[in-house]
Amino acid sequence: MNYKIYTDGSCLGNPGAGGYAAVIIDSSGGTQEIFGGEKFTTNNRMELKAAITALKKISVGSYVELFTDSQYFKNAFTQNWLANWKRRGWVASGGGAVKNQDLWRELDGLISARHVKFNWVKGHAGNSYNERCDKLARDTALKFQSQPDYKPPTPKIETPPKVEVTPKIKTSHKVEKDVRWVQQELF
């Protein structure tokens, strides 16, 4: 069977309360909506989680046309970012560790077991399935945020290290002579 999957993630605060959603459409026209979220997460994690949750519902070997508004997600597969990260031992091009490795590894397995074609859709541009995913993801994030025990994350504020600076006064030979003369005259 062939499928179309639309995915989206949402995060209120980034990091903050998050939600993800997917709409799965099978070749007979049947649709299924799935969604979930986390109390404290990032938007990128929710984008990836939407795809993971949807792909787990699809049989191995199936053909999938996947639609996302996340360049981060799409480009990892279409621009060979994922292959390069794996080749470099999960080190990003900038030299640091690849973020969200746990989700990327899971996605790698799910996608390699299916025939997936990636499509980018502009978010908030009127695509009804993308808009539906956005609403489900955002509503889920709002539910986490409205829980009585929810506390927004405290941003990390890095203070620069203190640097002791000793001012250097540059004097000319003439100034030094004038200072000696003043000292002789006053004392």
- Identify the structural domains of the chain with CATH numbers, from first to last: 2-145 (3.30.420.10)
CB 78 within 8 A of CB 116: no
Q: Which residues pair with 32 in a beta bridge?
A: 24
Q: Longest Cα pair distance anywhere in the chain, in angstroms?
A: 105
Q: Which residue has the higher pLDDT, 14 or 10?
A: 10
Identify whether 106 is a catalytic site residue.
no
Annotated active-site residue in 8, 16, 18, 19: 8
Annotated active-site residue in 16, 19, 38, 47: 47
d(CA 96, CA 88): 11
Q: Which residue has the higher pLDDT, 12 or 172?
A: 12
pLDDT of residue 187: 45
- 3-state SS, the chain, equals CEEEEEEEEEEECCCEEEEEEEEEEECCCCEEEEEEEEEEECHHHHHHHHHHHHHCCCCCCCEEEEEECCHHHHHHHHCCHHHHHHHCCCECCCCCECCCHHHHHHHHHHHHCCEEEEEECCCCCCCHHHHHHHHHHHHHHHHHHCCCCCCCCCCCCCCCCCCCCCCCCCCCHHHHHHHHHHHHHHC
d(CA 168, CA 107): 58
Question: How high does pLDDT run on average in the chain?
Answer: 87
pLDDT of residue 42: 95
pLDDT per position as a tens digit, 112-142 = 999 999 999 988 888 899 999 999 999 999 9
pLDDT per position as a tens digit, 53-107 = 999 999 999 999 999 999 999 999 999 999 999 999 999 988 899 999 999 999 9
- Can you say how many angstroms the Cα of residue 99 is from the centroid of all Cα atoms in its chain? 8
pLDDT of residue 176: 54
pLDDT of residue 125: 84
Amino acid at 26: D
The CA R_g of the chain, rounded to the nearest whole Å, is 28
Annotated active-site residue in 94, 95, 96, 124: 124
pLDDT per position as a tens digit, 145-165 = 888 888 876 766 666 666 565
Identify whether 33 is a catalytic site residue.
no
pLDDT of residue 14: 87
Identify whether 29 is a catalytic site residue.
no
Identify whether 115 is a catalytic site residue.
no
Identify whether 9 is a catalytic site residue.
yes
